[in-house]
Amino acid sequence: MSLKKFFSLFFIFIFSFLLISYIFIYKFLEFGFLSLKKEEAKKVISKVEFYFQKELDKLHNLTKDWAAWDEAYLFMQNKQPYFIKSNIIPETYLNLKIDLLLYTYLNGGIKAGGLFNKENKKIYINKEILHLVKSTLEKFSKKNQYNYKKLIIFINKPFILAVYPVLRSDFTGVPKGYLFMGKFLTSEELDTVANLFNIKELKILKSDKPSPEINFIKVDLKEVILEKTWFLNDQALKLRMGYIVVGESLIRSFIFYVVITQISLLLIFAIMVSFLIDKHILKPLLKLLKEIDQVKNKEKTRLSLEYNTKEYENLAKVINKFLEDISIRENIYKTVAEKTENLIILFDKERNIIFQNTNTKIYFNSEELKSFINKFLEEAKGLNFSEGKLKINEISFKNYWFNFQVIKVFKDLYLLIGQNITELKLKEDALFRMATHDFLTDLYNRRYLEDVLQRIAAASKRGEKFVLLFIDCNDLKKINDLYGHLVGDEVLKSVAKAIKENIRKEDLASRWGGDEFVVILNHCDKNTGIKIAERIISNLESSEIKTDFAKIKPSVSIGLVEIDETKEINEILNLADKLSYKSKETGKIEYD
């Protein structure tokens, strides 16, 4: 017998049995079901009350935030003239999803705000608002003024209202007035609440009942209609609700009354079903799972086809076909991976390495490869896969540089493809150095410094401190004329060496041109800059260049300028240049 035929007969039998059973017990359930529906309707009322209480709390917290606010506190004292234009605007009502935003004095006088008309985007005051303010403030006491929130009927509509005194942001100070916030409960919002609790009808109405009670207007198997007076503990409100209860869940509560009569039949039925399921489903399934584990552990390469149902036999054939296809593809992929010059690594989310090609072993041993994958995943953290792929450029490891692409080939399984770009990276670094450094002194060149100066100008406007040293070699032309340009070059190198040895790591030195150097001292004031300049001069005084004809002592003139937001870069450079010329005359460091 096939599984399809077996389960068809099985479900026909189950359906017939259940149908007869439920027809038999239906009459026993009806009375209890109606009683349970009433109780469930009462629970729904409690949930609805809790929901609206939460809405009151939300509005009260919002009112509290807007009332205990320094700007509002100043506004109520006429010390914040732009408060209305900035805050009491249509966008505020729309963003906060409210209909009333009103600041009043302690005596109820209107300061600013009002009701918001969503159709014409106008904020207005009417007599109903004035009456609402007056009647609300009459109910105030020292106890409730900090916790006033109510659901009322306002302009014939349900309306959530919250009031809070205007205080400083730290909730201190003498109250300067009150903030009224409110929102209408529209029919759409009430419908949303009704749908949330599976309620057919939901209305909030005025009430004049002297005591709280629940009146059931209609109760049958289709719906329950009731009224709850003193809604939210307010004797002026009542809730009318039409509630639809799903009967099936309640009927199950009464099955206990018929379980005893059915136990004997169910036991016999269970034994028969268990025997059939064990023979035709469980044993073949366990055999299939065992063989799949053997294939997984490489104990065998395919499944047997000895099953007593056609479905399991066909399933085993399909699995065997998949295994053959996987084996062929695996051999193809391994061959391609071994032929490529790239690094190929397959790993899972636990960072277990499933496959690596031979080329990977040239660069990493097993421990180094695990360390590299950990480093790669750390650098990739926070990046998102786009269409299952992620590219990360220029990762360094063991003096090598790589570009990588990681592909999510399956859930929690990743393929890492790497390209060695070390040689290209070294060439790029060399080209960058040639483009940014002076070949003679190995300091940064003028072009690079000009770019840096633009960034420094922007940083100085943010309050960061910098000092610029303009250094001019003394008598370089005379040295070139007397001893030749090679000796002059040695003088320039000696000056560059003195600069490098006496500035800090965060400072930047450059050859500005000819016999001129410019040094930028980061996060530095004038006094520190003078000390660094003095060290450079002292270093040069102790140095000496020997030639065949004479011993030359290099010397420099230094102009120092503090960089701040009041000066432009060209102005700073011109001033420093002039100060360096003045230094030639005075023989000492000159600064502005």
Q: What's the CA gap between 245 and 200, in Å, rounded?
A: 10
Q: Pairing relation of β-strands 413-420 and 400-410? A: antiparallel
Q: What's the CA gap between 518 and 494, in Å, rounded?
A: 15
Q: Residue 398: helix, strand or coil by DSSP?
A: coil
pLDDT level of residue 427 (50, 70, 90 thresholds):
confident
pLDDT digits (tens, 9 = 90+) for 563-574: 988 888 899 999
Q: Any idea which of 240-249, 423-432, 495-504 has the lowest mean pLDDT?
A: 240-249
pLDDT level of residue 390 (50, 70, 90 thresholds):
low
Structure confidence at residue 309 (pLDDT): 75
Q: Active-site residue among 65, 293, 515, 548? A: 515
Structure confidence at residue 526 (pLDDT): 93
pLDDT digits (tens, 9 = 90+) for 69-113: 999 999 999 999 899 999 999 999 999 999 999 999 999 999 999
Q: What is the mean pLDDT of residues 46-60?
A: 92
Q: Residue 296: helix, strand or coil by DSSP?
A: helix
Sign of CA dihedral 496, 497, 499, 500: positive
Q: What's the CA gap between 182 and 139, in Å, rounded?
A: 17
- 400 vs 171, which has greater pLDDT? 171
Q: Any idea which of 22-31, 64-73, 219-228 has the lowest mean pLDDT?
A: 22-31
Q: Among residues 262, 96, 233, which one has the least CA distance to residue 151?
A: 233
Q: What is the mean pLDDT of residues 13-30?
A: 66
Structure confidence at residue 554 (pLDDT): 93
pLDDT level of residue 530 (50, 70, 90 thresholds):
very high
Q: What's the CA gap between 489 and 440, in Å, rounded?
A: 8
In terms of Cβ atoms closer than 10 Å to its own Cβ (0-12, 13-18, 19+), residue 293 is exposed
- The CATH architecture assigned to 437-591 reads 2-Layer Sandwich (3.30)
Structure confidence at residue 164 (pLDDT): 94
Structure confidence at residue 54 (pLDDT): 94
User: Are the CB atoms for 436 and 448 separated by under 8 Å?
Assistant: yes
User: Are the CB atoms for 212 and 166 separated by under 8 Å?
Assistant: no
Q: Any idea which of 126-140, 307-321, 557-571 has the lowest mean pLDDT?
A: 307-321
pLDDT level of residue 265 (50, 70, 90 thresholds):
low
Quick check: 3 pLDDT over 60? Answer: no
Structure confidence at residue 252 (pLDDT): 54
Instruction: Report residue 38 as tokens.
Output: 């009433």
Q: What is the mean pLDDT of residues 338-352?
A: 76
Question: Which of 187-201, 272-286, 572-586 has maximum average pLDDT?
Answer: 572-586
| Helix 526-541 / helix 485-502 crossing angle, nearest 10 deg | 140
Mean per-residue pLDDT of the chain: 83
- 421 vs 554, which has greater pLDDT? 554
User: Per-domain residue ranges for the chain?
Assistant: 68-185, 266-330, 340-424, 437-591
- 394 vs 137, which has greater pLDDT? 137
Quick check: 246 pLDDT over 70? Answer: no
- 68-185 homologous superfamily: PAS domain (3.30.450.20)
Question: Which of 255-269, 406-420, 422-436 has maximum average pLDDT?
Answer: 422-436
Q: What is the mean pLDDT of residues 270-286?
A: 71
The domain defined by 340-424 carries CATH number 3.50.50.60 = no
The C-alpha torsion from 565 through 567 and 568 to 570, rounded to 10°, is -150
In terms of Cβ atoms closer than 10 Å to its own Cβ (0-12, 13-18, 19+), residue 21 is middle
Q: What is the mean pLDDT of residues 467-489?
A: 92
pLDDT level of residue 291 (50, 70, 90 thresholds):
confident
Q: Residue 434: helix, strand or coil by DSSP?
A: helix
pLDDT level of residue 531 (50, 70, 90 thresholds):
very high
pLDDT digits (tens, 9 = 90+) for 508-525: 999 998 899 999 999 999
Structure confidence at residue 312 (pLDDT): 74
User: Are the CB atoms for 546 and 531 separated by under 8 Å?
Assistant: no
pLDDT digits (tens, 9 = 90+) for 203-212: 888 887 777 8
Quick check: 382 pLDDT over 90? Answer: no
Q: Among residues 12, 32, 15, 35, which one has the least CA distance to residue 23?
A: 15
Q: What is the mean pLDDT of residues 138-164?
A: 86
pTM over 0.85: no
Question: Which of 13-22, 191-200, 448-457 has maximum average pLDDT?
Answer: 448-457
Q: Any idea which of 12-26, 209-223, 325-339, 387-401 has the lowest mean pLDDT?
A: 387-401
Q: Would you call 515 a catalytic residue per the annotation?
A: yes
Q: What type of residue is 328?
A: I
Q: What is the mean pLDDT of residues 384-392?
A: 54
Structure confidence at residue 464 (pLDDT): 92
The C-alpha torsion from 184 through 185 and 186 to 187, rounded to 10°, is -160
Structure confidence at residue 315 (pLDDT): 78
pLDDT level of residue 452 (50, 70, 90 thresholds):
very high
Quick check: 303 pLDDT over 80? Answer: no
The residues, ordered by sequence, that sit 6+ positions from 344 with a Cβ below 8 Å of its Cβ are 337, 355, 356, 357, 359, 360, 415, 416, 417, 418
Q: Give the start-end residues of each E strand in 93-232.
A: 100-104, 110-117, 122-124, 148-154, 157-165, 178-184, 199-206, 214-219, 224-229
Structure confidence at residue 420 (pLDDT): 76
Q: What is the 3 state secondary structure string of 167-206? A: ECCCCCCCCCCEEEEEEECCHHHHHHHHHHCCEEEEEEEE
Q: What is the mean pLDDT of residues 376-399?
A: 60
Structure confidence at residue 397 (pLDDT): 61
- 420 vs 59, which has greater pLDDT? 59
Per the DSSP assignment, residues forming a β-bridge with 563 are 466
Structure confidence at residue 257 (pLDDT): 61
- Residue 285 sits at the vertex; the CA angle it makes with 324 and 305, to the nearest 5 degrees, is 45
Structure confidence at residue 254 (pLDDT): 58
Q: What is the mean pLDDT of residues 300-321?
A: 76
Q: What's the CA gap between 76 and 165, in Å, rounded?
A: 11
Structure confidence at residue 499 (pLDDT): 95
